[in-house]
Amino acid sequence: GAVVSQHPSRVICKSGTSVKIECRSLDFQATTMFWYRQFPKKSLMLMATSNEGSKATYEQGVEKDKFLINHASLTLSTLTVTSAHPEDSSFYICSAREDYGYTFGSGTRLTVV
């Protein structure tokens, strides 16, 4: 089946630094990928839709300059959390759309100290 690899699985960074999270589709091409944020015991909240070769589409209330998305190839999308603050600490999950559904990465636990 389709596999989406997300790295890193955990990252701790200092306030003010930037963190990049990678999402790769391993055995299929994904023209569309999605980035979600999940708070403890809550559902997934869509942050943005990442389109290969074009600008990402951000959901209302999500700062595009804060959460930079790049989808430079059909198998890779990256989310960069810029100038991270403790309130950015969260679980970030990517997914890729393929023929029969949506496959999710294993998530990245970001802790900003």
Partner 1 sequence: GQQLNQSPQSMFIQEGEDVSMNCTSSSIFNTWLWYKQDPGEGPVLLIALYKAGELTSNGRLTAQFGITRKDSFLNISASIPSDVGIYFCAGTTNSGGSNYKLTFGKGTLLTVNP
| Residues that bind partner 1 in the complex, under the rule CB under 8 A | 4, 6, 32, 34, 41-44, 46, 49, 91, 93, 95, 97, 100-107, 109
**Which of 16, 101 has the CB closer to partner 1?**
101
Cα–Cα distance between 7 and 17 in angstroms, integer?
18
| CA-to-CA dists, residue 74 to 11, 21, 109, angstroms | 25, 16, 25
Rounded to a whole number of angstroms, the minimum distance from the CB of residue 16 to partner 1 is 26
Rounded to a whole number of angstroms, the minimum distance from the CB of residue 94 to partner 1 is 8
Cα 10–chain centre separation: 13
**Which of 31, 82 has the CB closer to partner 1?**
31
Structure tokens at 28: 């299929």
Rounded to a whole number of angstroms, the minimum distance from the CB of residue 46 to partner 1 is 6
| CA-to-CA dists, residue 8 to 14, 51, 59, 67, angstroms | 16, 21, 24, 16
**Which of 42, 85 has the CB closer to partner 1?**
42
Rounded to a whole number of angstroms, the minimum distance from the CB of residue 88 to partner 1 is 18
